[in-house]
Amino acid sequence: MKHSPRPETVLDVSGLSVDFQLPNRVLHAVKDVSFKLRAGKTLALVGESGSGKSVTATAIMRLLPQVATVAKGTIHFGEDDLLKLSELQMNLVRGDGIGMIFQEPMTALNPLHSVERQISETLIVHRGLSKSDAKAQVLALLHKVQIRNPERRLKSYPHELSGGQRQRVMIAMALANAPRILIADEPTTALDVTVQAEILDLLTQLQQDMGMAMLLISHDFGVVRQVADEVCVMKSGEIVEHGKARRVFSAPEHVYTRTLLDAEPEGIADPLKGDEPELMRCEDLRVWFPLKRNFLGRAKTFVKAVDGVSFCIHEGETLGVVGESGSGKTTLALAALRLMQSQGRIVYMGRELRDVRGAELRSLRQELQVVFQDPFASLSPRQSIAQIIAEGLRAHKRDQSEQSLDQQVVDALVEVGIDPDSRHRYPHEFSGGQRQRFAIARAMILKPRLLVLDEPTSALDRSIQTQVLDLLKHLQQKYRLSYLFISHDLKVVRAISNAILVMNQGKLVEAGDTRSLFGQPQEAYTRRLIRAAVDFRSV
């Protein structure tokens, strides 16, 4: 039997170890990592945050922070050991031989430069093109990554683009000089499931067209299942399992790999019994932002962020809100909490919230709390954990002693599964999952009745997501909490929500209990969302 030739090895990482010189110790971030990347193939590095995936990628690109050093190992790109190249030689490799898509495009893109300038820069530096020739190439690249109306987007800045558009610009930059290798570091994190599927399809198509090898870094097994040929599972800086993707997913050998696969949210939450009292009801809620005004200053056209949405939340219920970015999910929640100007009725415990003002409204906010998407951004880096969690108590219950405040902080941390001795440390000293628990503790210490959870698990590993979801379910059962749960991850929403609102372009497309909505969706948009999630997550 004649076998096809084995694809050429384009990158050979052997015995790579990376150490971080911390103030009091040395952190061995990557330990003796070895793998080969072959032409036209995709190898995925998977594992939880802190497992060493991104450090491995930045070591390949020679972009490690100053506190990090390569302790040993080799990284061969063709005949060259990248670790032995001069900085000038390495600059020629970056973007030309190896392109990289960074994890967060809003951070990686320069907010002061237009799309045209950011992409053309690499063409001018590496290929010596004139500005006019570079512009033509940029347009061709934007067409290639399927950005709509690319001529209009040339002068756009990153903040004017959606998450999916920013990611496509990052891909265009990475592919500008037709590299042999593309490193994609969490390329779909925090994107809607439909946009995730589009980005992955795009990367796969571009890889086939250009014959690139791709090193994919992800903590999301749904992403890896769809595109990877081989998988390396990393834990604590080491590769604990390596093999063909199909084998790793169907018959994992290492207990850690099985743990990660088992961490996927499963099941469908049951609907409520039907006799639970109503907690909040919104009728015909509208949030319209003026877009253009006439010479008298009156609004002529509007962006209808929320347009006539009605819903009801009962005591002990989790109401999920799903839809793509820009559909109005977060705006709806902020309007319902009176944190944003809106029109329509908002009735909380039988009382019209629009009639509540001043000190009375501030007092009522104890019962209506929010946990935001990014715990690192929502926790003040200048305050200790104890100060952050006690902040609400200091604002609403000013007559309490320091001893009483501290005891309540201790109790809140124990409630969310955190060692209270850590309360005098700062947010940057903790993992993403721990920071999200602090955010939950800060909300829970005021004994709320309604908790708005805005993408509370989107930036977390699957195993940490499961832990946070279990915590939320436990707190709900213990205190009869009601949740307004906003997410683009349908698997997470399905597992925790009793009922779901589906939103698109500010309007309520469909609503119903979770089991019925997933089993028999009535609207084409809902079916498209569910189909994208199923296709995206399937093996």
Task: Examine residue 367 and state whether it is found in any structural domain, yes or no.
Answer: no
pLDDT in tens, 112-142: 999 999 999 888 888 888 888 999 999 988 9
Token look-up 């033509």 returns: 136
In a domain, 368, yes or no: no
Number of domains observed in the structure of the chain:
4
Domain ranges, residue 495: 273-349+450-459+482-539
Cα 509 off chain centre by: 24
Neighbouring residues of 534: CB distance < 8 A, sequence distance ≥ 6: none
298 and 383 assigned to the same domain: no
Is 218 domain-assigned? yes
Is 68 a residue whose pLDDT tops 70? Answer: yes
Angle ∠(282,325,260) on CA atoms, nearest 5: 105
**Together in a domain, 81 and 197:** yes
Residue 361 within a domain: no
pLDDT bucket at 539, cuts 50 / 70 / 90: very low
Indicate whether 395 and 509 sit together in one domain.
no
Predicted local confidence at residue 270, as pLDDT: 85
Which residues 6+ apart lie within 8 Å of 394 measured at CB? 405
Note whether residue 373 is domain-resident: no
What's the pLDDT tens digit per position in 264-319? 777 888 888 888 999 999 999 999 987 666 666 676 677 788 999 999 999 999 99
Q: In whole angstroms, what is the distance from residue 203 CA to residue 322 CA?
A: 26
Position 508 in a domain: yes
CATH assignment of the domain containing 342: 3.40.50.300
- pLDDT tens, position by position, 474-503: 999 999 999 999 988 888 899 999 999 999
Claim to verify: residue 69 and residue 205 sit in the same structural domain = yes
- 282 with 345, same domain: the answer is yes
Judged by average pLDDT, the poorest of 11-25, 92-106, 338-352 is 92-106
In DSSP terms, which residues pair with 333 in a beta bridge? none
SS3 of residue 362 by DSSP? helix
Torsion of CA 210, 212, 215, 220, to 10 degrees: 30
